[in-house]
Amino acid sequence: MRQLKALVTLLILGLAISGCAQTYGGGTYKGGQTRMSHTVQYGTVEQVNDSVIEDSPSGLGALGGAVVGGVLGNMIGGGKGRVLTTLGGAVAGGAAGYAGEQAMKTKKAIEITVRLENGQMMSVVQEPDETFMVGDRVRILTGSDGSARVRH
């Protein structure tokens, strides 16, 4: 029983760590983007819309939830019902794990449309770590990997 509790605890901790979401704000850089040059363009904010960043689930939430649910279902069930409670726990745990991972990988964002000085329009989606208003003068930083961010 002690080993079972340790297994369940480790699975829950693993799911919590694997679900840590990365951020996509204008001031956030990946390690590979540091010490690299970025092209800077200036422009004026034309429009700001609410948006959502939704990363694809890895499947670890569903897998971990199914394992934990199956273990718990097995502990609850007895006799002939043990197989049914194990399967039911695995299905319910998998669904709950998937939903939990999906919720952790969905973040609020903003879509900022900017008219560049050369007349072109550019749109960037990022987390709302700064407030942008129509008419704001901004910089768009574009990395060699194609990533872009809007900054004041």
pLDDT in tens, 99-126: 777 767 788 999 999 999 999 999 999 9
What does R_g of the chain's alpha carbons equal in angstroms?
Answer: 23
Structure confidence by residue, pLDDT tens digits, 68-101:
877 888 888 777 788 888 888 788 888 887 877 7
In 3D, which of 60, 67, 148 has the Cα closest to residue 112? Answer: 148
Q: Which residue has the tokens 């689930």?
A: 57
Inside any domain, residue 129:
yes
The verdict on residue 114 lying in a domain is yes
Any domain includes 100? no
Q: Tell me if 67 is assigned to some domain.
A: no
Q: Does residue 51 lie in a domain region?
A: yes
Overall domain count for the chain: 1
Find the domain containing 128 and state its range: 23-55+107-152
Amino acid at 41: Q
Q: Measured in whole angstroms, how far is the alpha carbon of residue 32 from the centre of its chain?
A: 19
| Two structure tokens written together for 42 | 């200036």
CA 136 to chain CA centroid, Å, is 28
Residue 68: inside a domain: no
Could you tell me the maximum CA-CA distance found in the chain, to the nearest angstrom? Answer: 75
CATH of the domain at 131: 2.40.50.100
Residue pair 107/24 in contact (Cβ under 8 Å)? The answer is yes
The SS3 call for residue 11 is helix
Residue 82 within any structural domain of the chain:
no
Q: From CA 41, how far away is CA 139, in angstroms rounded?
A: 6
| pLDDT greater at residue 139 or residue 87 | 139
45 neighbors 135 (Cβ within 8 angstroms)? yes
Beta carbons within 8 Å of 69's beta carbon, 6+ residues apart: 89, 90, 91, 92, 93, 94, 96, 97
Q: pLDDT-based confidence at 145, cuts 50/70/90? A: confident
- Whether 1 is in a domain gets the answer no
pLDDT score recorded for residue 125? 95
Give the Cα separation of 141 and 38 in Å (integer): 6
User: In terms of Cα–Cα distance, which of 17, 36, 33 is closest to 25?
Assistant: 33
